[in-house]
A = this chain, B = another copy of it.
Amino acid sequence: MEQIPLETLNAADRKTFEAAVGEVMELAPWVADEAYAARPFASVTALYQAMTDAVRNATDARQRALIDGHPDLAGKAAREGKLTADSTAEQAGAGLDRLSEEESAAFHRLNDAYRTKFGMPFIVCVRRHGKESILREFERRLRNDAATERKTALSEIFRIAALRLDLRVKGSRRLKVHGHLSTHVLDIHGGHPAEGVAIELCEVAAGGATRAVKRAVTNADGRTDQPLFTAMPIPIATYELRFAVSDYFAGRRVPMSDPPFLGVVPVRFSVAEPEGRYHVPLSVSPWAYSTYRGS
């Protein structure tokens, strides 16, 4: 999606404005329409504020309709390909388009239970969660009362909107929707950054199954050229960073046992704050390593 500069948006007519940001609130173009009156916006954050204010100040019925306009997660609309483009991308990003039968049944059961208890769809900003975190949220929120869930639904809608806006509009004071995950490999055998270490970032499911999320190789500074996560929230999940340590040392002709004591070093950690800063470095010799949550 090409981003539109905020200045362009500020100068746009109503129709262009709505075309640009009308889908930021799911099936509720009226929100953009109301925000239009508040132009010009000094920053993307100001635009976001105007749109969420429009919702906050709306009648109960309109708020209710906004909530009801959201699709079930991994629900019928999804299976039939009837989601909005945004929702399709968001649900796919969390892997909801490739559930096992068992997982599918779990979502079905939870969607029903939630609708039965609260009379509205379960809304969560799925870009901030891995699949298992969504299921945990589902279980957790099912225990809430109606008033709490009504509030939570709106705040999750605002989180979804923030991410959609961030994708569409560029300008000053970006919304704080981005997490940061980086690593660094220090060779404490040689006393310098480790260059050329192959790294794999995997997401780890509860049963231990892993799915590769990203691959990279360290540069001369021992870092990856790009952070492992930077332009998006980091989904709440468990990850494993895998460092191909013996390949690196073998390439430098460092004596090792056969097979090497350390081959691929796995560092397993969980992300709790999708917008947080996670630096997970490795200091390593062929016989020892340490890691920590840095900053």
Q: Name A residues whose Cβ lies closer than 8 Å to a Cβ of B.
A: 186, 188-193, 208, 210, 221-222, 236, 238, 240, 257-266, 268-270, 272-273, 283, 285-295
Residues of B within 8 A of A189 (CB): 188-189, 285, 287
CB pair A266–B263 under 8 Å, yes or no, is no
Could you say how many copies of this chain the assembly holds? 4
CB pair B293–A288 under 8 Å, yes or no, is yes
Given contacts A259-B272, A272-B257, A290-B288, contact A295 B192 (CB under 8 A): yes
Q: How far is the CB of A123 from chain B (nearest CB, A)?
A: 21
CB pair B293–A290 under 8 Å, yes or no, is no
Q: Enumerate 7 A-B pairs (CB-CB under 8 Å) in ascending A order.
A: A188-B188, A188-B288, A190-B287, A261-B293, A262-B269, A283-B290, A288-B290
Residues of B within 8 A of A289 (CB): 290-292
CB pair A268–B269 under 8 Å, yes or no, is no
CB pair B287–A288 under 8 Å, yes or no, is no
Separation of A290 and B262 alpha carbons in the complex (Å): 13
Residues of B within 8 A of A263 (CB): 238, 268-270
Residues of B within 8 A of A192 (CB): 293, 295
Separation of A240 and B263 alpha carbons in the complex (Å): 11
Separation of A236 and B258 alpha carbons in the complex (Å): 10
New A-B pairs, 19, CB < 8 Å, besides A188-B288, A191-B288:
A186-B294, A188-B188, A188-B292, A191-B261, A192-B293, A193-B295, A208-B210, A221-B295, A222-B295, A236-B259, A238-B259, A258-B272, A259-B270, A259-B272, A263-B269, A265-B268, A287-B292, A289-B290, A290-B290
Separation of A236 and B240 alpha carbons in the complex (Å): 25
Given contacts A257-B272, A261-B191, A263-B268, contact A288 B295 (CB under 8 A): no
Residues of B within 8 A of A266 (CB): 240, 266, 268
Residue of B nearest to A256 (CB): B191
CB pair A264–B272 under 8 Å, yes or no, is no
